[in-house]
Structures are given as structure tokens and as C-alpha cells.
Amino acid sequence: MRIFHSETHRRHFPQGELNGGELVTPFERPSRVEYVLNRLKDRGLTDIVAPDAPDRAAIAALCDPGYLEFLETAWDQWVAEGFRGEIIAASFPVRRMQTARPPRNIDGKAGYYCLAAETAITNGTWEAALGSAACAQSATRAVIGGARGAFALCRPPGHHATADMYGGYCFINNAALAAEALRAGGAGRVAVLDIDFHHGNGTQDIFYARDDVFFASLHGAPEDAFPYFLGYADETGSGAGEGATLNLPMAPGTPYATWSQALDTAIAAIRAHGAEALVVSLGVDAYKDDPISFFKLDSPDFTDAGRRIAGLGLPTVFCMEGGYAIEAVGINTVNVLEGFEGA
């Protein structure tokens, strides 16, 4: 399997994440990638290459122009304003406020374009997000070119990012870029299968009213888990997209026996939808020892999940999302890929 990895991810390394009222070292940190790379190499998956330059036009087609301009210029504006810390949004356009008027002030603008305050922006965040997007784009190109599967080792991740908001460690929605590129590459219908512990609110939002991109997500129930405000089972799509969103929220303590049934449900729905290509939002934070999640998957379960996904028989782009049990992140990620390859 061809693997795409950009060194640029290192440029995004905020020092602080707002967690439980403290500023802690972010769970989403550069070393995650090293663990995945080391495990890939240990297992003989050594076809690891740098992506092509990002396709900026495709990113512009996916995202709101004001949002992209914000991401690209935020750090310089923040520094020019005289702020000394990292960009952490603190004011948001919530219920009964103005949601269509981005402020001029950079502190206000950050809140306008942010959906969750744990995620800091620093010098280099934009470049890292572009490099991450480039990995997804190059992996998709490989699949369009005939590969059965390709792995984009995306960092920062993407599935919480909407067309105009960052948060949950995400800035550009890599899985959505991949899905759009697969469509443009000739697939009539595409599916995004999100197995990260957290609901892929950004991906759902981007495709909610469309029937050409099916979205299925297995995740911690919104009553109990980030991102809290989306991912209920009764969100099924709107307009032409009615029926093309499938949410499978699960309770704290969910074991693989239950999770794998949900996976089979998602797989059956993807088959029924007639998808010709697949994007997997590959987070491994459903792992039992993940520090910020509450499912109980063990490492061999990820191999089994990869095998089941391969059963769809679809050309597949894997995009890295979350997973924070640092040493197990490499094992669990590569287990999914090996399960897929071996099937």
C-alpha cells in the first residue's frame, strides 16, 4: 500500500490545549506520526512518499474563502495585534447572535471561525494543514490511478473541520477533499466511513444535503462525547441527501462485539447506497486505553475491522484522524491497514 506523509506536519505543534480548565500539552502532537511511521516500517510497509504540492483549487472549492483567508493570515494578525500566546478562541457567535458577520478583530475572527476552543493555532499551523490536505489529495490520486488502497498519514486531522470552521484539532477536512476528488475522478457515488471515536461533524455537515456522498459514522454518543452537538441517530441527511447520512452513536464502555455490529451495519448501508469508492476516516481512538475516549476496542480488533472494510471490495483512501494512546496509535493504525491488505 502506498503511504503519503508530509514532514510539514511538524510545523503545527501548539504548546497548549484547553482541557478540563488547564492548558495541557496537546493530545494531538507530532510524535503520533512518528509512532505510525515506525510501526509501518517495522511491518514492512515502506512505500512511504511525500505528497505532491497541495491542489489549492480543490481546497478553495471545498472551503469558504473568508475561512481560508483567516487560516492563512491568522498568526500574522495575532502577532501584529500584540498578543503573546497562541491563538485560542474565546468568544463565539452562539444562539441569537450575529452568525454572518465576521469581525475585523483577530480575536473575534478566531471565535467566528472556531467550533471548539481546545484547538490552538500557531505559527506553522496553516502550512501543516496544507501538507495534511496534500497527503489526502495524493493518496486519492493513487487510488484513482488504480491502487486498491492508499493511506494518507494526515496530521493535523480533518473530520471535525467544516467548510468554514476549525476545532477538534482539525482545520481542513481531508476526508471530504478525498471524497470530492474521487467524485471528480469518475466515481458516481462515494462513501465516507468514519471509524474515529468522535463524530465526524465536519464531514457530515459538508455532505448533509447531497446523495452522491454517503456518510456513515461510528462514535461516542453526543450526550457523552465531543463534539457534543451533532451525531445523533436521527440525523439522516436533508433534501436530496435524505437517507445518505448514517449515525451510529454508542455508549461509554462499548466493546468490540457491539462496535463491530455497528461497523457491519455501516458497511451494509454503504453497499446499499451503491458507492463505487470509499474514504475511511481512520481514527484509532476507539482503543480501550485512549486517554480521551470511552470505547473498549483492543489492538487485534482493529485488524478485524480492516478485514471487514475490505469486504466492501471498494477502492479505498484511508485518511488518518485521531488516536492518542501514543504507543498503541502506530499498532492500531497499521492493524487496520494490514487487515484491509490481507483480506
Q: Considering beta carbons, is residue 112 or 226 the nearer one to ligand 6XA?
A: 226
| Marked catalytic residue, from 9, 12, 159, 160 | 160
Would you say 180 or 196 has its CB closer to Zn ion?
196
* Residue 281 bridge partners (DSSP): 194, 319
* From Zn ion, ligand 6XA, none, interface partner of 226 (C-beta below 5 to 8 A by class): ligand 6XA
Q: Which one, 249 or 315, has the nearer CB to ligand 6XA? A: 249
- Among 118, 164, 235, 304, indicate the residue that binds ligand 6XA (CB under 6 A): 118
CB of 8 to ligand 6XA, least distance (A): 20
Say if CB 8 and CB 130 are below 8 A apart: yes
Q: How far is the CB of 322 from ligand 6XA (least distance, A)?
A: 3
Q: Using an 8 Å Cβ cutoff, are 280 and 179 in contact?
A: no
Q: Is the dihedral of CA 118, 35, 322, 78 positive or negative?
A: positive
The least CB distance from residue 271 to ligand 6XA, in Å, is: 25
Cα–Cα distance between 236 and 243 in angstroms, integer? 5
Task: Cell numbers for 85, please give them.
Answer: 500566546
Q: Which residue is nearest to Zn ion (CB)?
A: 322
Question: In the complex with ligand 6XA, which residue's Cβ is closer, 118 or 235?
Answer: 118
Chain position whose Cβ is nearest to ligand 6XA: 322
Nearer to ligand 6XA, 207 or 226 (CB): 226
Pairing of strands 22-24, 17-19: antiparallel
Question: Burial level of 94, CB count in 10 A (0-12/13-18/19+)?
Answer: exposed
184 contacts 173 by C-beta, under 8 angstroms: no
Q: How far is the CB of 25 from ligand 6XA (least distance, A)?
A: 14
What is the C-alpha separation between 87 and 171, in angstroms, rounded?
13
What residues make contact with Zn ion under the rule CB under 5 A? Answer: 196-198, 283, 285, 322
CB 216 within 8 A of CB 270: yes
Restricting to residues 160-219, name those near ligand 6XA by CB under 6 A. 160, 168-169, 196, 198
CB of 138 to ligand 6XA, least distance (A): 22
Catalytic status, residue 219: no
- Answer with the entry of Zn ion, ligand 6XA, none that 169 interacts with (C-beta below 5 to 8 A by kind): ligand 6XA
Judged by CB under 6 A, the chain residues 270 through 289 that form the site for ligand 6XA are 283, 285
318 contributes a contact to ligand 6XA by CB under 6 A: no
CB 316 within 8 A of CB 149: yes
Q: Which does 118 bind (CB under 5 to 8 A by kind): ligand 6XA, Zn ion, none?
A: ligand 6XA
* Alpha helix (H) residue ranges in the chain: 31-42, 56-62, 65-80, 106-112, 125-144, 174-184, 201-207, 256-273, 299-310, 326-342
φ, ψ dihedrals at 32, nearest 5°: -55, -45
Alpha-carbon distance of 321 to 9, in angstroms, equals 13
**Residue 321 binding ligand 6XA, by CB under 6 A:** yes
Tell me which residues are annotated as active site.
Answer: 160
Residues that bind ligand 6XA (CB under 6 A): 118, 160, 168-169, 196, 198, 226, 283, 285, 292, 321-322
